């Protein structure tokens, strides 16, 4: 039995047909610029710091993936709840999505997610 284990061990660690493993994260190719910071081949989420003077933050998507600007949800930036509890709550602000090559300036959002 030890001989079979030795022979099958390399197969267990490699994906079939030379495909990437399912759990392997893939990063975007290109550059993501948030304010004054540029990330090369970004992967995951990046914080979106707002400027102290209140000016908009420039976001440039020079990658091959869509990026999402995740907006505030139930934070101190959200509108105050209505004083009448029976009044409907304001609708949440939708996330912004930038296609490859797009850019925007924004004063809202908490992070930028690649993919």
Q: Where are the domains of the chain?
A: 25-114
- pTM value is 0.62
Query: Which of the 8 DSSP states describes residue 23?
Result: T
pLDDT of 76 above 50: no
Helix segments in the chain, DSSP class H:
2-12
pLDDT band at 74 (very low <50, low <70, confident <90, very high): very low
Percentage of the chain beyond pLDDT 90 is 46
Beta strand segments in 1-115, E: 30-34, 37-40, 45-47, 57-63, 67-70, 96-98, 103-106, 111-114
């Amino acid at each position: 039995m030890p001989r079979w284990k030795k022979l099958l061990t390399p197969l267990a660690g490699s994906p079939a047909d030379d495909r990437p493993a399912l759990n392997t994260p893939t990063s975007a190719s290109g550059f993501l610029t948030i304010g004054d910071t540029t990330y090369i081949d970004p992967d995951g989420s990046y914080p979106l710091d707002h400027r102290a003077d209140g000016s908009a933050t420039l976001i440039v998507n020079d990658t091959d993936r869509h990026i999402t600007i995740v907006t505030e949800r139930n934070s101190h930036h959200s509108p105050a709840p209505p004083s009448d509890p029976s009044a409907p709550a304001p609708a949440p602000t939708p996330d912004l999505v930038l296609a490859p090559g797009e850019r925007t300036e924004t004063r809202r959002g908490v992070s930028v997610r690649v993919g």
